[in-house]
Amino acid sequence: MSEDREERPLDREERPPDREEHYLDREEHYLDREEHYLELCENPVQFENASSVNNVFFDEANKQVFAVRSGGATGVVVKGPDDKSSVAFRMDDRGEVKCIKFSIGNKILAVQRTLKSVDFINFIPDYPHTEFTQECKTKNASVLGFCWTSWNELVFITDQGIEFYQVLPDKRSLKQLKSQSINVNWYQFCPETAVLLLSTTVQGNVLQPFAFKVRAGSGTMSKMSKFEIELPVVPKPAKLSLSERDIAMATIYGQMFVMYLKHHSRTNSPTAEVVLYHLPREGVCKKTHVLKLNTTGKFALNIVDNLVVVHHQSSQTSLIFDIKLKEPDCAVNTHQPVLPARSIHPYRIPLAGPAVVPSQPPIPCQLYSSSWSVFQPDIIISASEGYLWYLQVKLPPTVNLLQDKGKLMDFLLRRRECKMVILSVCSQSGEKGRLPIVATVFDKLNQVYKEYLEAEQSYTAAVESGPSRGSAAPKRPVRTQAVVDQSDMYTHVLSPFTERKGVSHKFIIAVLMEYIRSLNQFQITVQHFLYELVIKTLVQHGRFYMLHQFLQYHVLSDSKPLACLLLSLESTYAPAHQLSLDMLKRLSTANDEIVEVLLSKQQVLGALRFIRSVGGHDNVSSRKFLDAARQTGDQMLFYTVFRSFQQRNQRLRGSPGFNPGEHCEEHVVHFKQLFGDQALIKPSTV
Amino acid sequence: MLMISPRMASGMQEKQYTPSLLNFFVYNPTFGQKEGEEEKKILFYHPSDVEKNEKIRNVGLCEAIVQFTRTFCPTKPAKSLHTQKNRQFFFEPEDNFWIVMVVRNPMIEKPNKDGKPPTVEYQEEEIIDTVYGAVVKQCYSMYKLFNGTFGRQMEAGGVELLIQKLEKFFYRYLQTLHLQSCDLLDVFGGISFFPLDKMTYLKIQSFVNRVEESLSLIKYTAFLYNDQLIWSGLEQDDMRILYKYLTTSLFPRHSEPELAGRDSPLRPEVAGNLLHYGRFLTGPTNLKDPEAKFRFPKIFVSTEDGYEELHLIVYKAMSAAACFMISASVELTRDFCEQLDGLVGPQLTLLASDICEQFTVNRRISGPEKEPQFKFIYFNHMNLAEKSTIHMRKTASVCLTSVHPDLMKILGDINCDFARVDEDEEIIVKAMTDYWVVGKKSDQRELYVILNQKNANLIEVNEEVKRLCATQFNNIFFLD
């Protein structure tokens, strides 16, 4: 798993016999295809396969594959993850290339051809392209390799220590920044965190990490505290016992880990395990997790979507581990595989180029081939076939493989592309699940949802209160796919669910109420459309009394839209009218609506008394009331209402007459017709 | 069996008699129409020891009155007949089936000097039609809850079966009628709801749904706490009568063992099961008993097309009671009961303590209850919600009120006035005893307040009631 070695075989054994291939083919028919939860990416990086004239190198830092033909004389083709990072050039054949890498951003190419020195070629336009060389400064030391830490800084690793250089491309020379003497067996470099790990001591199990940081244009190198890997057996006499192949570095859930593939030993554990050492930037490295592989043999490690993937060659299967998934029946931090072992999804190599015959099927790819090399975090390279794949986790098959739905949700909620799968789990548990499971699923979802809402809220609060001294600018919380909000649930799960045939309405309502319960439990404000859905479902099945009880206990929270919805139900369910008015009253911002409702019911006096009781009498439209009063056909009512508004006018304006803007002329005429002029309140003469 | 309960009986003083049940009978005029077969019309007669001809005479009289009054208003037959000594109530719950209840008016017996027999003064105006009319209807509803309609029995076993069922039911039921303590609450036949916060309510919902899912035999569930309803899966009208049965009959009968001490023989055998406090109020008293019978009362509830017969399982843990209703066509086994006990017992115990905790927290927040200057009865026709600070506690035997019967009578009268019109109204009465009685009707709600403010004037009383509405009923729409 170290970088840039040509073809690191996963296994030195011969290709598996053909018999096994048949078995695999058959298995593919028997097993649900959807059982493969790992797959190779669809668009691999393709390069010229390794051969006697073509050497292939891989640079983990830039994720570039170098195909070096005849030592570069007939061309070097560099393929990166995207077209931008792909380059092709020629260089003089000055001996066998041991290692070749671009600095970050393809600025400078470094090529190692001897054990003593590294050669450099500028790729910056307008700079001289002639090669220049840097020999290692330590006497009698051999260069094991080198790593770029920035666009112009790199570190040489020799068997006697490390030398940190800055390249000066214009001067075609290097300046040493720092060096450190230490006996080195082998090294590993994690480009993501720019941490270099050196294997020291005779047994090789004392690891010394160094951290590189780019700060203000010039890099720094700092020594981190060293730590020891516990070996299964301590050899006597001491000899190198920790192989670089059994160590890998990776970032999992934002934390750096050193992964140690601990093979079984006759004395202690009967099966192999992966031991994780947490390597903090500051502080001591500690053994934190043990992943039980429950088998022996040859393994390789990948990290995909914060999952540790362990490939097992002889069974041609892989296991995944989630270090955040707590195992109830294991000691703390000992983990069993999340899912049963499965092989990577069968892969067929697409035939590209003009030679493609449409009827010709793609060729099945030999998975877990001995010619595969595995790199961190998620790269698999088949040098002999000329492919670089990214390993991916396919979430849909996990749904059927993980029976414990609570655990499944925990697992899914931590995955990157989880939203649609989570929603499908919700739909499924609505379909055939049981309420306690549905409840667990909802609670887990809403836990994450609530955390996001809270983060968002404190962010907004922090932004509003302005920058405060001493604290960094607030960072907007990232909304991951695991945040499944109410509209997601409504659109993808609940709304289709209520329309599904063959599900009892009792269960549908139970599921809806369970979701509302869960939201309430996490103190999340329930959105109107959910209430609407509940009401719609209840009405559809004639469960009005149920609805009434829900409203009575304020399970469906008050809002104007909800009150209006209830009003519209009055014709099918009379009590809805009362429920609606109560709700409007509680809202205390809906006095106009209450007046409208009462007037529409011809309760003119009631409306008038109400508006007076809330102190809105002075501002209401007199015409509206007079219209309603006249419509009732009740003359005394009309009289009362008319007089009451005349009195209002008197009080407000000192005159009982209506303003032209009030458009009450016809009502004045009507009043006079009914009761005569003398019934009008006369303007008091001063 | 004449029930006479003198309210005051001391020496030479006046004796007062409360209203009491004289007769109760059920008849169908279409039966025994031939002369000489009149007795066949009578399906049930209380008291049973009345001479046959008198029975026939009384029934015939009722029949005649109903027939006669029908000529004046065919759609609304007579509901009651007032006489000096008693009052008769007529109710036709099903076509041609009549229930008649005769109540003796309350009376005062004044002793006379010189060994003359005492003079009796009947208080004919003391009885309110709506109250006793409602009592008759309740009798029928209760009968129907446990037996189904009269028509159903006729279909199932002819008139013999109906007579048998009526006899069996009313013989016991009439003994539990306490006509002297019937009042406005009988008119309402309301349901007292337990106040609860949203989250606890949702937990109960979740509990009900889960139980119904695990024990799919369960068709309906009702949940009560402290004899107050929290959730009903039954429709409103069925719940109303079931609630009446639970709170006035079943729960009071079972309250004693709970109040009894741990070592009391009344306390049901817990049989080493201390995981929960759940127990069956109907059906087996002790699951562990090998002789235990798994028979539950059967009830009839309405469905979209008729009615259905259900087993009624009432299960209680502390103050929380859950009623589970299961189709009567299923035979309930020991297995099922054990399963229910194992599933519901622990959960219900937990819920009960949750509710209790919340209840005490709420009470603490609202502060110690001061003796208020007023008492009230509230009723909402829409959801049958009822609240009374006048009634102390309903038990199987009596319904205690904390106010004078005269005031209760005023409440009943106001209610009658309200029933006559659809409009919202407000009535304020000053009672003889210096109490103020206020009745308010707003849409479908009625509120009756009794104020003990001797020197208050009308305006002050009005203000006081407004204040009461603002504090006690601020979350509903109540027109001033």
Closest Cα of chain A to B316: distance in Å?
22
User: So what's the pLDDT on residue A351?
Assistant: 62
Beta-bridged to residue A102, according to DSSP, are: A109
The number of domains in chain A is: 2
Give SS3 for A600.
helix
| Nearest in space to B243 (alpha carbons), one of B266, B222, B272 | B222
- What's the Cα-to-Cα distance from A248 to each of A196, A275, A278, A567, B183, rounded to whole Å? 11, 11, 12, 66, 85
Asked, for residue A268, whether it belongs to a domain, the answer is yes
- What's the CA gap between A460 and A457, in Å, rounded? 5
- Assign B316 a pLDDT band (cuts: 50, 70, 90): very high
Q: Is A462 exposed, middle or buried (0-12, 13-18, 19+ CB in 10 A)?
A: middle
Best of A512, A553, A580 to disrupt the B interface by mutation (most B CBs within 10 Å)? Answer: A553
Q: Nearest chain A Cα to B211, which residue?
A: A435
CB A416 within 8 A of CB A394: no
Residue A57, domain member (yes or no): yes
With beta carbons under 8 A apart, name residues in chain A contacting B445. 578
Contacting residues of B for A566, CB less than 8 Å apart: none
* Measured distance CA(A116)–CA(A146) in Å, rounded: 12
List the single range of A469-478, B136-145, B155-164 with lowest mean pLDDT.
A469-478
Average pLDDT, chain B: 84
What is the per-residue pLDDT for A656? 85
Confidence band for A329, pLDDT divided at 50, 70 and 90: low
Statement: residue B192 has pLDDT above 60 = yes
Which pLDDT belongs to residue B398? 53
Question: Taking CB atoms and an 8 Å limit, are B232 and A613 in contact across chains?
Answer: no
Contact B477 A521 (CB under 8 A): no
Question: What mean pLDDT, rounded, does chain A reach?
Answer: 83
Parent domain of A114: 33-348+366-393
A616 has a chain B CB within 8 A of its CB: no
Q: CB–CB of B382 and A578 under 8 A?
A: yes
Give the chain B residue whose CA is nearest to the CA of A613. Answer: B480
A-interface mutation test, from B191, B194, B197, B202, most A Cβ less than 10 A away: B202
Distance between CA atoms of A240 and A199, rounded to whole angstroms?
A: 10
Q: What is the DSSP letter of A611?
A: H
For an interface test with B, the pick among A582, A605, A610, A612 (most B C-beta atoms closer than 10 Å) comes out as A582
Q: Where are the alpha helices (DSSP H) in A371-504?
A: 396-401, 405-413, 419-432, 435-464, 486-488, 495-498
- The mean pLDDT value for A238-248 works out to 86
B424 pLDDT more than 90: no
Report, as an integer, the average pLDDT of A559-573: 91
Residue A434: its chain B contacts at CB < 8 A? 213-214
CA distance A551 to chain B (A): 10
**Contact check, Cβ <8 Å, B477/A581:** yes
Inform me whether the pLDDT recorded for A120 exceeds 80: yes
> Does the residue A527 lie in any domain?
no
Q: Answer whether residue A465 shows pLDDT above 60.
A: yes
A609 to B479: CB separation less than 8 angstroms, yes or no = yes
A193 falls within a domain: yes
Compute the distance between CA of residue A615 and CA of residue A624 in angstroms, rounded to an integer. 17
Give the mean pLDDT of A564-583: 90
What letter represents residue B8's amino acid? M
**What CATH number is attached to the domain comprising A150?**
2.130.10.10
Determine the residue of chain B that is closest to A588 in CA distance: B475
Cβ distance of A555 and B205 shorter than 8 Å = yes
Residues of A within 8 A of B421 (CB-CB) are none
Higher-confidence residue: B374 or A579?
Answer: A579
Task: Judge: A584–B382 Cβ closer than 8 Å, yes or no.
Answer: no
Give the residue on B whose Cα is nearest the Cα of A506. Answer: B209
- Please give, rounded to a whole number of angstroms, the shortest distance from the CA of A343 to a CA of chain B: 38
The answer to the question of residue A375 being in a domain is yes
pLDDT of residue A424: 86
Q: Are B383 and A517 in contact (CB < 8 Å)?
A: no
Provide the shortest C-alpha distance from residue A525 to chain B (in Å): 13
Q: Are A320 and A339 in contact (CB under 8 A)?
A: yes
The verdict on a CB contact (< 8 Å) between B206 and A584 is: no
A637 interaction partners in chain B (CB closer than 8 Å): none
Closest chain B C-alpha to A59 CA, distance in angstroms: 57
Cross-chain Cβ contact B202/A585 below 8 Å: no
Q: In chain B, what residues touch A549 (CB-CB under 8 Å)?
A: 231-232, 383
> The tokens of B172 are what?
């016991």
**pLDDT computed for residue B420 by the predictor:** 84
The pair phi, psi for residue A214, each rounded to 5°, is -100, 120
% of chain A with per-residue pLDDT over 90: 20
pTM: 0.83
Contact state of B210 with A435 under an 8 Å Cβ cutoff:
yes
Q: Which pLDDT band, with edges at 50, 70 and 90, does B142 fall under?
A: very high
Residue A249 pairs in a beta bridge with: A258
* Chain B positions in Cβ-Cβ contact with residue A435 (cut-off 8 Å): 206, 209-210, 213
pLDDT by residue (tens digit) across A341-374? 888 888 877 665 545 555 566 677 788 888 888 9
Whether residue A406 is contained in a domain is answered as: no
Question: Are the beta carbons of A615 and A588 closer than 8 angstroms?
Answer: no
Alpha carbons within 13 A on the beta-carbon side of A454: 9
- Residues of chain B in contact with residue A512, where contact means CB-CB under 8 angstroms, are none
What pLDDT is stored for residue A653 in this prediction? Answer: 85
Helix orientation angle between A405-413 and A435-464, rounded to the nearest 10 degrees = 30
Q: Is B103's pLDDT higher than 70?
A: yes
If pLDDT is split at 50, 70 and 90, which confidence band does A32 have? very low
- In which band, very low, low, confident or very high, does the pLDDT at A25 lie, cut at 50, 70 and 90? very low
B194, B209, B386, B425: which to substitute to probe chain A, counting the most A Cβ within 10 Å? Answer: B209
Instruction: For residue A643, give both structure tokens.
Output: 């007089």
Closest alpha carbon within chain B to A505: B209
Taking the C-alpha atoms of residue A111 and residue A196, their distance in angstroms, rounded to an integer, is 19
Which chain B residue has its CA at the smallest distance from A590's CA?
A: B477
For the segment A69-98, the average pLDDT, to the nearest whole number, is 81
CB atoms within 10 A of CB B292: 15
Q: Is residue A486 part of a domain?
A: no
Name chain B contacts of A520, Cβ cutoff 8 Å: 198-199, 202
Specify whether the CB–CB gap between B178 and B399 falls below 8 A: yes
Our CA dihedral for A442, A443, A444, A446, rounded to 10 degrees, sits at 80
Say yes or no for a CB contact (<8 Å) between A578 and B198: no
Nearest to A517 among B193, B206, B475 (CB): B206
- The answer to whether A607 contacts chain B (CB < 8 Å) is no
- A640 — contact with chain B (CB < 8 Å)? no
Angle at the Cα of A536 from the Cα atoms of A534 and A537, rounded to 5 degrees = 65
Residue A460 neighbours by CB distance under 10 Å = 12
**A479 shares contact with chain B (CB less than 8 Å):** no
Do residues B444 and B384 touch, judged by C-beta distance below 8 A?
no
List, for residues B7-65, the tens digit of each pLDDT value. Answer: 444 456 778 888 999 999 999 989 888 888 888 889 999 888 889 899 999 999 998 99
The pLDDT assigned to A18 comes to 38
Round to whole Å and give the CA distance between A624 and A634: 16
- Smallest Cα distance from A546 to chain B, Å: 7
Q: Which member of A436, A549, A609 has the closest CB to residue B232?
A: A549
pLDDT of residue A131: 83
Categorize the per-residue pLDDT at A609 as very low, low, confident or very high, splitting at 50, 70 and 90: confident
The band of A601, judged by pLDDT with boundaries at 50, 70 and 90, is confident
A11 lies in some domain: no
Whole-complex ipTM: 0.87
Average pLDDT over residues B176-187: 86
Chain A: closest CA distance from residue B280 (Å): 25
**Using the beta-carbon criterion (under 8 Å), do B198 and A506 form an inter-chain contact?**
no
pLDDT above 90: residue A3: no
Note whether A435 contacts B209, CB cutoff 8 Å. yes
Q: Do A582 and B476 touch (CB under 8 A)?
A: yes
Say yes or no: A582 contacts chain B, CB-CB below 8 A. yes
Instruction: Specify the length of chain B in residues.
Output: 480
| Mean pLDDT for the stretch of residues B240-258 | 82
Kindly identify which residue of chain B lies nearest to residue A580, measuring between CA atoms.
B477
Question: Which pLDDT band, with edges at 50, 70 and 90, does B102 fall under?
Answer: very high
Q: Do B209 and A514 touch (CB under 8 A)?
A: yes
Residue A297: band (very low, low, confident or very high) from pLDDT cuts 50, 70, 90: confident
Tokens 């509206």, residue located? A624
Give the pLDDT of residue B91: 93
| pLDDT (average), residues A604-610 | 88
Note whether A178 and A191 are within 8 A (CB).
Answer: no
